[in-house]
Structure 1
Amino acid sequence: MIQTVATKPFNDQKPGTSGLRKKVRGFQQPHYAANFVQSVFDSLSGFEGQTLVVGGDGRYFNRDVIQVVLKMAAANGFGRVLVGQGGILSTPAASHLIRSSGAFGGLVLSASHNPGGPDEDFGIKYNVGNGGPAPEKVTDAIHARTLSIDSYRIVDAGDIDIDTLGTRELAGMTVEIVDPVAAYADLMEQLFDFPAIREMIAEGFTLSFDAMSAVTGPYAKEIFERRLGAQSGTVRNGTPLPDFGHHHPDPNLVHAKELYDRMMGDAAPDFGAASDGDGDRNLIIGRNCYVTPSDSLAVLAANAHLAPGYAKGLKGIARSMPTSGAADRVAEKLGIPLYETPTGWKFFGNLLDAGMATICGEESAGTGSDHVREKDGIWAVLLWLNILASRRQSVAEIMQTHWATYGRNYYARHDYEAIAKDRADALMAALRDKLTALPGTANSGGTVQSADDFAYSDPTDQSVSRNQGIRILFEDGSRVVFRLSGTGTEGATLRVYIERYVDRHGKLDMETADALAPLVRAAQEIADITGFTGMEQPSVIT
Structure 2
Amino acid sequence: ELLFREDGPDFGAASDGDGDRNLILGRQFYVTPSDSLAVLAANAHRVPGYREGLAGIARSMPTSQAADRVAAKLGIPCYETPTGWKFFGNLLDAGKVTLCGEESFGTGSHHIREKDGLWAVLFWLNILAVRRQPVRQIVEEHWRTYGRNVYSRHDYEGLPVEVAEALMADLRRSLPGWVGQRLGSQLVAYADDFSYTDPVDGSTTSHQGIRIGFEDGSRIIYRLSGTGTHGATLRVYLERLELDPARHGLDPQVALAEQIQLADHLAQIRARTGRQQPDVIT
Are positions 1:387 and 2:127 aligned together? Answer: yes
**Matches of 1:515 and 1:504, distance apart in 2:** 12
Give the letter for the 1:290 counterpart.
Y
Alpha carbons of 1:449 and 1:364: their partners in 2 closer, same or farther (altered >3 Å)?
A: same
Counterpart contact for 2:218–2:241, Cα < 8 Å: yes
Secondary structure, aligned partner of 2:256: helix
Partner of 1:401: 141
Structure number with higher strand proportion? 2
Amino acid of the structure 2 residue aligned with 1:319? R
Per the TM alignment, residue 335 of structure 1 is displaced from its structure 2 partner at its CA by: 1.2
TM-score (norm 1): 0.50
Matched with 1:449 is: 189
Provide the rounded CA distance (Å) in 1 between the counterparts of 2:228 and 2:244. Answer: 38
- Alignment partner of 1:296 is 2:52: no
Given that 2:212 and 2:219 are in contact with CA atoms closer than 8 Å, whether structure 1 keeps it comes out as yes
8 Å Cα contact 2:55-2:98 kept in structure 1: yes
- For residues 463-491 of structure 1, the C-alpha deviation after alignment (integer angstroms, 9 at most, x for no partner) is 10000110011222211000113598832
Change (3 A) 1:399 1:334: same
Residue aligning to 2:15:
275
- Aligned equivalent of 2:49: 309
Post-superposition offset of 1:276: 2.2
Deviation at 1:393, TM superposition (A): 0.4
- Equivalent in the alignment of 1:366: 106
Q: Per-residue displacement from partner, 1:359-406 (whole Å, max 9, x unpaired)?
A: 001111111111111112111111111110111000011011111111
The equivalent of 2:154 in structure 1 is: 414
- Cα pair 1:403 1:504 within 8 Å, conserved: no
- CA deviation profile, 1:411-441 (whole Å, cap 9, x unmatched): 1011111222222111110100100111233
Letter in 2 for 1:440: G
Count of matched residue pairs: 282
Q: Distance in 2 between matches of 1:335 and 1:443?
A: 33
Do the aligned residues in 2 keep the contact of 1:451 with 1:471 (CA within 8 Å)? yes
Are residues 1:479 and 2:219 paired? yes
Task: Please tell me whether residue 285 in structure 1 is matched to residue 25 in structure 2.
Answer: yes
The answer as to 2:265 corresponding to 1:510 is: no
Query: What residue in structure 2 maps to residue 426 of structure 1?
Result: 166
In structure 2, the CA distance between the partners of 1:299 and 1:446, relative to structure 1 (3 Å rule), is: same
Alpha-carbon distance in 1 for matches of 2:192, 2:155: 21
For residues 278 and 426 of structure 1, what CA distance do their matches in structure 2 show? 37
Name the amino acid aligned to 2:10: D
CA RMSD of aligned residues (A): 1.7
Bigger RCO (CA 8 Å, 6+ sep): 2
Query: Measured at CA, do residues 441 and 496 of structure 1 come closer, stay the same or move farther in structure 2, by a change above 3 Å?
Result: same
Work out whether residues 6 and 28 of structure 2, in 8 Å CA contact, stay in contact via their aligned partners in 1. Answer: no
Larger Rg: 1
- Secondary structure at 1:440's aligned position in 2? coil
Is it true that 1:356 corresponds to 2:96 in the alignment? Answer: yes
The percentage of counterpart residues that share the same residue type is: 63
- Whether the 8 Å CA contact 1:405–1:504 is kept in 2: the answer is no
- Helix, strand or coil for the counterpart of 2:73? helix
Corresponding residue to 2:82 among 336, 342, 366: 342
CA contact (8 A) 1:484 1:493 kept: yes
CA offset digits 1:176-213 (Å, max 9, x no partner): xxxxxxxxxxxxxxxxxxxxxxxxxxxxxxxxxxxxxx
Tell me if the contact between 1:406 and 1:504 (Cα under 8 Å) persists in the aligned partners: no
CA contact (8 A) 1:419 1:493 kept: yes
Contact 1:330 1:406 in 2 (8 A): yes
Q: TM-score when scaled to structure 2?
A: 0.95
CA contact (8 A) 1:275 1:282 kept: yes
277 and 526 in structure 1: CA distance in 2 versus 1, 3 angstrom threshold = farther
AA aligned opposite 2:12: G
Provide the residue aligned with 1:331 in structure 2: 71
* Offset of residue 504 of structure 1: 5.8
After superposing on structure 2, the runs of 4+ consecutive aligned residues of structure 1 that deviate more than 6 Å are none
